[in-house]
Structure 1
Amino acid sequence: MANLPVLPHVSKLSLLAASLMAANSFVSLSVEAHGYVLSPESRSYACKTGNNASCGAVQWEPQSVEGPSGFPESGPEDGKLASAANGAFSPLDVQSPVRWSKTDINAGWQQFTWQFTANHVTRNWRYYITRQGWDQNQALSRASFDLAPFCVVDGGMVQPPKLVTHDCYVPEGLSGYHVILAVWQVGDTSNSFYNAIDVNLSSGPGIPNEWQDVGDINPSLDLKAGDKVMTRVFDANGEQLSKQTKITITDATQGDKQNWPFLLASTINAQQSQLNAGQKNAAGSIMPVYGKNDIFTLTDSGIERVEVEFDLAPAPGNQLNVTSLADAIQINDGAAQVSFDVTTNSAMQVSAYLFNHDGVASGFVSQAVNNTNASLVLDVVAPKVGHYHLQVKGEPQQGDVIQQNFDVFLKDELPVPEADFVFPAEVTRYVTGTKVLQPKTGKVYQCKPFPYGGYCMQWSASATSYEPGVGASWAVAWTEL
């Protein structure tokens, strides 16, 4: 590694957006913000997208991982390189072989794309990579890296556009899990931006991979005895219940947030032929690990995504009930609110977190509730038509945290046709020509003529194949209006 040449510049520089005035000074968590590596996905940006979990404040500010310039001679201290020694982002410094999601790349020419939200005048960009055999269980330090950058791009002391791509030659002779430290040294302050990029590196030419990543098992919370964790598998026709995997937690040790993901991944691998869960090792094999696991599917399986869902048993002695939550919520004049009522039988802090379908945080509200009823209203950030996930959490003064999860759908302002029923009310009365409003999609569906109309009433909570708009075989029985 030490003899590898330093590239003074890249062969191409893609300039894809108009200039934006740079921020004049560093402010932690500033709305002026700055920039991050978009591809390969940096550790901080993966926290924003949901590919990394339990990240803390950086999920809201991936562009603000900023610290003193001068690496490697000075700059952030060892053990704090991933966070740029910014205390607000210290979760980024946690290091283990399985803590962070990784991007598969090959040695040789690779593109690194920066997204800037405030495009400072730039001195240069520099890229460093960990040594072969680096200690993956210790926080990143100078000893982890080859301190000769494998790529340097001159910024020319000009303001770059908002999207910049560098072509850099990743050194050969390395394989397995590595961290690339991308440093953007600005020219109008004494600071630089530090982005750790977690990669699985192959030294050979790219080989088509029969497994593609379609989901994540994130160690997001500790579970208790009686809690259930399950997968939800979707293809182009909707959810495929036959491909679901479910585990029930038997004790607190099994429910530890580092343990149950391993159990779920192992169970998926034992039960499902088209799914494989774990993390790729240096040999390219997918093996279950303690902590975060990825879910892969065969490229020809037709499976598009896999979600993980919890069914949490109520905490003994503490109760939290959620009512008055609408399945479908209207967007009016570009704004939307999720409102609901909660009832508790003890003093607890009730918090609600809203995430869009891609797992991006889209709203938050919190209120103290003491053995009474309360109404909570959550403003949706940049609402868009589609599926959202609402997580309601009750934190009692004594006892376990209570968590409940709900599906919420935002719909546009267009009127819907009149319906005879709101699904699944009066399901046994559905016959040819019956019109039902599906709250999960906000759309109306009409029962098809004979002989298909007989399927319309064939629904129960455990048999949902013909549920209008969402069941695996809904189109056999229904027509969308």
Structure 2
Amino acid sequence: MIRNKQSRLFRKLPLVAAIGMASLASLAVQQASAHGYIESPKSRAYMCRTNVNDDCGNVTYEPQSVEYTITGRTNYQGIACKEDFTKCGPADGNIASGGMIDQFSEMDIQTATRWAKNDIKPGLNTFTWHYKAKHPIAYQEFYITKKDWNPNEKLTRESFDLVPLLHKDMGNQMAEERNSHDVMIPADHTGYHVVLATWRVGDTDATFYQVIDVNIDGDEVAPSPWNNLGVVQPQALEIGDKVIARLFNAAGEMEDKNISLTIASDEQAKANIWPHALAEKVNAANVGVVMGELNTDGDIVPNFGKNSVFVKKGSDILSFQLEKQLVNQPIELNITGMQPSYTLKDGAVDLHFNAIAKGSDFTIKATVFNAKQESVAHKQAAAGDNTPHFSLSLKDIEAGKFDLVVEAAPKKGATKQETVSFTVQADSDGSYDFVFPEVLKEYKAGTTVLQPKDGNTYECKIFPYSGYCSQWGANATGFEPGVGSNWQDAWIRK
């Protein structure tokens, strides 16, 4: 079925962005796919973005992108459908990641102490979605874990009451920057629970998933005497590394109250061991803070893994920082936002991407090279900006293969480099039906598709080979045109 050029191009842009998100193996999550998160109470993903939760992986940079679609995700009971959470959606155990285990698997870790919690009361609580891209809203739902759920097991449908706390039909109204719902938290739920918020998009197959970790302070529970200043997250260290708990009041750092721990053995260097040892040392010092996690009796005890930092309400200690002095400071550089393919418009292409460097203060620069190994664009970020956003315009270029080279130079030591290859294709003349893998179920003999990974067009072979053309998934790419190991069984390159 030949579609008019305008409708093809309209569909093409978001799809290419989605393919780009799936194809980059590190932190390359597409900005074009960014949509929304629960801002208040802060969702697990948003707490990662605001550094309340740590060691969260890619979601730290894309809390708005936890998106379940019917393809390329883990599916509940192996069924890919568009119904609500109770019938399908991400597989049990992958609910917090929205089934995006390649990008956001860290979100699925579940223990009683792993994630920071929002203190809320039973009764009406306002939950606010913050949108980073506008889409029509079909409906939004909120679920809560059962009274007897096990917080040390991964989230499954068995973990939740499957009658939603709220189902709100939105009539496909276009999302603005934010919208809020009053959600009734049951009075018989107290302590640690997880609220699941889902947003069914009106014009795609997507549903956005956000889990919110809450501590429900019931009327029968005495008000907490503690303020939480922050958390110490587990991270593997090395012998000789030093961690320092630094405390601050209104006048600044209280250096006489700082507590340090130098890693003395391989055992102590383990990710879940040294935070426990530091908590014991801080508590023994009696400097006005207590490290650990609250148990069911309301006592704060050192924890193997994440430890929170508490002060009594009314304390003059206002904030906490954990300083890490590492013997071998690792250097990381990741590029997000790049697509595998772009289309020329009036002889030009605009690139928008982020560079994310860790381990030092860097000067980061980006250069684009064409197939002739000529540099065609260059930009340098301000010194010390470790997370710059780059906008590069490639002008008067021809279609072909390009390399983006990003370099992060520290004040001392070796420069870190990352290279991302991409293709630029000529503006389409309308000679294909779909951008692969759009609308797989419509592929039949004679269907033509554009493969954005190489810029080529492919035609589906005649029966009986045409049945292979629609056989594709994130983990089943054998017949993907031009890419899969057996693509020539299904396709003809045009």
Decide: shared fold, TM above 0.5.
Answer: yes
1:269 partner amino acid: N
- Aligned with 1:146: secondary structure? coil
Contact 1:352 1:364 in 2 (8 A): no
SS of the aligned residue for 1:261 comes to: helix
Q: CA deviation at 1:202?
A: 2.3
**Structure 1 pair 363/208, CA: closer, same or farther in 2 (3 Å)?**
farther
| 1:147 and 2:162 matched | yes
What amino acid is the match of 1:100? W
In structure 2, the residue corresponding to 1:255 is in which secondary structure? coil
Kindly indicate whether the alpha-carbon contact (under 8 Å) linking 1:123 and 1:156 is maintained by their aligned counterparts in 2.
yes
Q: What are the Cα deviations for residues 257-287 of structure 1, in whole angstroms up to 9, with x where unaligned?
A: 1111111122222212521212223343322
> 1:232 and 1:177, CA in 2 relative to 1: closer, same or farther beyond 3 A?
same
- Cα distance, 1:118 vs. partner? 1.1
Consecutive unaligned residues of structure 1, counting only runs of 5 or more, are 1-22, 321-350, 356-361, 367-375, 384-389, 396-481
* 1:307 match: secondary structure: strand
- C-alpha spacing 1:252/1:48, structure 2 compared with 1 (3 Å): same
SS at match of 1:224: coil
1:80 maps to 94
Partner amino acid, structure 2, of 1:62? P
How is 1:254-403 mapped onto 2 (pairs within 5 angstroms)? 254-313=268-327, 352-353=358-359, 379-381=385-387
Look up the match of 2:48: 47
Letter of the aligned partner of 2:67 in structure 1?
Answer: E
User: Is the Cα–Cα contact under 8 Å of residues 103 and 199 in structure 1 kept in the other structure?
Assistant: yes
* Number of equivalences: 322
1:35–1:64 contact (8 Å) kept in structure 2: yes
> What's the secondary structure of 1:264's corresponding residue?
helix
The Cα shift of 1:108 comes to 1.2
In 2, Cα distance between the equivalents of 1:153 and 1:60? 29
The residue type equivalent to 2:272 in the other structure is Q
> CA 1:392/1:45 → structure 2, altered by over 3 Å: closer, same or farther?
farther
Distance 1:206 1:382 in 2: 46
Any idea what the Cα deviations from partners look like across 1:409-463, whole Å, max 9, x if unmatched? Answer: xxxxxxxxxxxxxxxxxxxxxxxxxxxxxxxxxxxxxxxxxxxxxxxxxxxxxxx
Change in CA separation of 1:73 and 1:391 when aligned onto 2, cut-off 3 Å: farther
Question: 1:240: how far off?
Answer: 0.5
In the alignment, the residues of structure 1 paired with residue 61 and residue 253 of structure 2 have an alpha-carbon distance, to the nearest angstrom, of: 31
Counterparts of 1:5-84 in structure 2 under 5 Å?
27=18, 28=21, 29-32=29-32, 33-68=34-69, 69-70=82-83, 71-84=85-98
Map 1:112-191; keep pairs closer than 5 Å.
112-191=127-206
Cα separation, partners in 2 of 1:392 and 1:139, compared to 1, 3 Å: farther
User: What is the CA–CA distance in structure 2 between the aligned matches of 1:391 and 1:259, rounded to whole Å?
Assistant: 31
- Comparing 26-35 and 263-272, the one that deviates more: 26-35
Q: Cα–Cα, structure 1 residues 57 and 354, in superposed 2: closer, same or farther, change >3 Å?
A: farther
Which amino acid counterpart does residue 31 of structure 1 have in structure 2? Q
Distance 2:62 2:412 in 1: 23
Residue of structure 1 equivalent to 2:240? 226
Secondary structure in 2 aligned to 1:185? strand
**Partner residue in 1 for 2:417:** none
Structure 1 residues 364, 177: CA separation in 2 closer, same or farther (over 3 Å shift)? farther
Distance between the aligned counterparts of 1:354 and 1:190, measured in 2?
41
Cα separation, partners in 2 of 1:193 and 1:364, compared to 1, 3 Å: farther
Deviation at 1:249, TM superposition (A): 2.0
With over 3 angstroms needed to count, the CA separation of the structure-2 counterparts of 1:253 and 1:224, relative to structure 1, is: same
The answer to whether structure 1 residue 98 and structure 2 residue 98 are counterparts is: no
8 Å contact kept, 1:261–1:292: yes
- Alpha carbons 1:230, 1:246 under 8 Å: kept: yes
* Percent identity of paired positions between Structure 1 and Structure 2: 37
- 1:94 counterpart letter in structure 2: I
- Secondary structure at the residue paired with 2:275? helix
Which residue identity lines up with residue 121 of structure 1 in the other structure?
Answer: P
Question: 2:248 is paired with a residue of what secondary structure?
Answer: strand
Aligned mates of 1:286, 1:154 — CA distance in 2 = 43
Correspondence 1:251 to 2:258 = no
Q: TM-score, normalised by structure 1?
A: 0.61
More strand by share: 1
Q: CA deviation at 1:58?
A: 0.8
In the alignment, is the contact (CA less than 8 A) between 1:352 and 1:392 conserved in 2?
no
Aligned to 1:214: 229
Q: Which residue of 1 aligns with 2:477?
A: none
2:73 matched to which residue of 1? none
Secondary structure of the residue aligned to 1:47 is helix
What are the Cα deviations for residues 57-94 of structure 1, in whole angstroms up to 9, with x where unaligned? 11110000000343110111111111111121111111
For residues 239 and 273 of structure 1, do their structure 2 counterparts lie closer, same or farther at Cα, with a shift above 3 Å needed?
closer
Match of 2:123 among 108, 131, 135: 108
Contact 2:217–2:223 (CA under 8 A) maintained in structure 1:
no
Aligned equivalents of 2:51, 2:360: Cα separation in 1: 13
CA distance in structure 1 between the aligned counterparts of 2:221 and 2:233, rounded to whole angstroms: 28
Deviations 1:365-399 (A, max 9, x none): 89xxxxxxxxx96545479xxxxxx999999xxxx
8 Å CA contact 1:365, 1:378 repeated in 2: no
